[in-house]
Chain A
Amino acid sequence: MTVRDGQERGGEDVAPPPFPPAGPGPAGPGPAGGKGGDDGYRPSARRIARERYRRTRTRRAFAVASASTLLTAGALYALIVNSPGWQRTRQTFFDAHYARISLHPILHGLWLNLRLLAVCGAIVLVAGLLMALLRTLRGPVFFPVRALATAYVDFFRGLPLIICILLCVFGIPALRLTGVTNNPVLLGAFALCLTYTAYVAEVFRAGIESVHPSQRAAARSLGLSNAQAMRYVVLPQAVRRVVPPLLNDLVSLQKDTGLVSIGGAVDAVYAAQIIASRDFNYTPYVIAGLIFVAITIPMTRFTDWVAARMNRRQSQGGAV
């Protein structure tokens, strides 16, 4: 029997599912064979009228939403297209030729961004969690550990990322240490990890502190050690709560991977910059920007979905 399976069920009276099923319509009394469902119930005229009204409302809401969306889009389009500099802007920023020739180098550079995101993201999540845990250690023995972790977070959260990258990419090779790489990509990735671990550690710590002390008390009173209480009771709740801000940091990290180009590596943004400065056309920037946006949207929707599913499983809802 695992402790983690013990999800709380506020099971006083009937614990209702989050939402009642949308009216099954005049067809009949819901799924047959449900407990006590087969009681010869026939929907009244009042219910049928009510549901008809609700359907009309839904249709109307959909129509209004569509109309207002079209109107807004039309207005924005007209505003941009009719602006005095539109012709010139379109040539400089939205040129199909440059979009075509820049796409391949940008995607090639993007591969570097994605690899950096995957590697740095994984390191940052683990190291950030570790750093947050170090800061929660109790007892005087751990004072230096706590102090160091706090100092680390304070320092690297405040240090501008560009300066951190410059110091790592140019400063570490200058030390001429044997066995330490001079590769600007690796050093840039190291700098990214340093800064983002500090951010993520703070997110995790906020999550850990948001779990009510009574949860820890309950866990400790079952005989779980401090570490076990953290591992099985506090952390699972804390991590769920901080998923949205964590995603925020990961998206931010994804964009900042471009800064490793400071050391000379060619990522998607730098690839776009090379073309843009050669031909004085900004279309490659627009293409690179759209690609970055296109990558983050599925990530956001995925975490929204995960969070919504967790909420559905844990809480009873209502039509508030």
Chain B
Amino acid sequence: MSAIGPKSGTADGPEPALRAEPVLRMEAVRKTYGGTVVLRDIALEVPAHTVTALIGASGSGKSTLLRCANLLEDVDDGAILLDGQDITDPRTDVDEVRRRIGVVFQAYNLFPHMTVLDNITLAPRRVHKEPREQAEGRARELLERLGLADRAHEYPDRLSGGQQQRVALLRAVATRPRLLLLDEITAALDPELVGEVLAVVRDLKEEGMTMVIATHEMAFAREVADQVCFLDGGIVLERGTPAEVFGAPSRQRTQEFLRRITEAGRL
């Protein structure tokens, strides 16, 4: 595992000395709903082929941060750069940006009127104009690897939650995105189904997929992440390697959060 992530550990630390342009960079991002500040002065760098885990209580801004990165929400201030391109610029072609980003939601959001195969090949065929044979060939290959080959012609509602979420992951990566955003993808799953989904994420990391993961699975975050960000009240309160954030949290809020999680038996 490469040593990534600033050593300073806080949001307002010095810029990390990275040679390559990070896949995703956030600069002083601010987001409000009405009078409520949801994200405040967010700075974040996600280098290529690394995994960043966002942790924090519900309402800390994890989901909003991901929604902003995918332009599902407009930021109020600051900039989000994808491969060095400012995607928060109003001139940005939103569809073009989203073509480079894959997203998996907590509630799977598979299209119930399409088979598994059609769900996966929809974007490759209609957006990326791949011929049907090519798109379906790749989809079948991906399904094969996850042991879901016999489900290709099933409809999503006939699958288990774990199977649905794995299909949703395949759907997101079928277009070979530059960046994959995972928004609490195991939160709606039975505990015994969580493992099969996380195994896919682990595989994707092996293949070098760049990911940002909002999660409550602390053990998984600790294992798979190169960089962990603890969000609290809309700011990145603590940032560092898993060892730093989980092992020796510098902020009291982080310590409290981790203690509560530990007491709940989730670490």
Contact = CB atoms under 8 A, between A and B. Distances in A.
A43 interface: yes
Interface string B3-24: 0000000000000000000000
B34 A21 contact: yes
A20 B77 contact: no
Contacts of A320: 72
A13 B36 CA distance: 13
A319 interface: yes
Contact of B30 (A12, A21, A41, A50): A41
Given A14-B64, A318-B67, A47 B76 contact: yes
Nearest to B40: A39
A160 B67 CA distance: 53
Contacts of A37: 32, 35-37
A43 to B, nearest CB: 6
B126 interface: no
A253 to B, nearest CB: 33
Nearest to B39: A14
A23 B73 contact: no
Nearest to B74: A319
Contacts of B28: 44
A59 interface: no
Contacts of A43: 77
A57 interface: yes
Given A13-B64, A36-B233, A47 B34 contact: no
Nearest to B60: A13
B77 A36 contact: no
Contact of B74 (A14, A17, A20, A53): A20
A57 B90 contact: yes
B63 interface: yes
B62 interface: yes
B2 to A, nearest CB: 31
Contacts of A13: 58-64
A139 B91 CA distance: 61
A319 B71 contact: yes
Contacts of A33: 35
A14 B35 contact: no
B38 interface: yes
A30 interface: yes
B120 to A, nearest CB: 21
Contacts of B77: 41, 43-44, 46-47
B154 interface: no
A239 B190 CA distance: 35
Contacts of A20: 31-33, 73-74, 76
A31 interface: yes
Interface string B33-69: 1111110100000000000000000111111100100
A33 B208 CA distance: 45
Contact residues of A: prevailing secondary structure = loop
Nearest to A57: B90
A23 B34 contact: no
Contact of B38 (A14, A29, A31, A50): A14
B234 interface: yes
Residue of B33, B233, B234 with highest tally of chain A CB at under 10 A: B33
Nearest to B79: A46
B64 A39 contact: no
A34 interface: yes
Nearest to B27: A46
A35 interface: yes
Contacts of B67: 318
Nearest to B30: A41
A31 B34 contact: yes
A264 interface: no
A300 B172 CA distance: 40
B125 to A, nearest CB: 21
Interface string A267-308: 000000000000000000000000000000000000000000
B90 A16 contact: no
A103 to B, nearest CB: 50
Contacts of A32: 35
Contact of B37 (A36, A47, A53): A36
B71 A30 contact: no
A50 B77 CA distance: 9
Interface of A: 12-14, 16-17, 20-21, 23, 29-37, 39, 41, 43-44, 46-47, 50, 53-54, 57, 318-320
12 contacts: A16-B64, A17-B33, A20-B32, A20-B33, A23-B76, A35-B37, A36-B36, A37-B36, A41-B37, A41-B40, A46-B78, A50-B89
The 9 A-B pairs of least Cβ separation, nearest first, read A34-B35, A47-B77, A13-B63, A31-B35, A37-B35, A16-B33, A36-B37, A318-B72, A35-B36
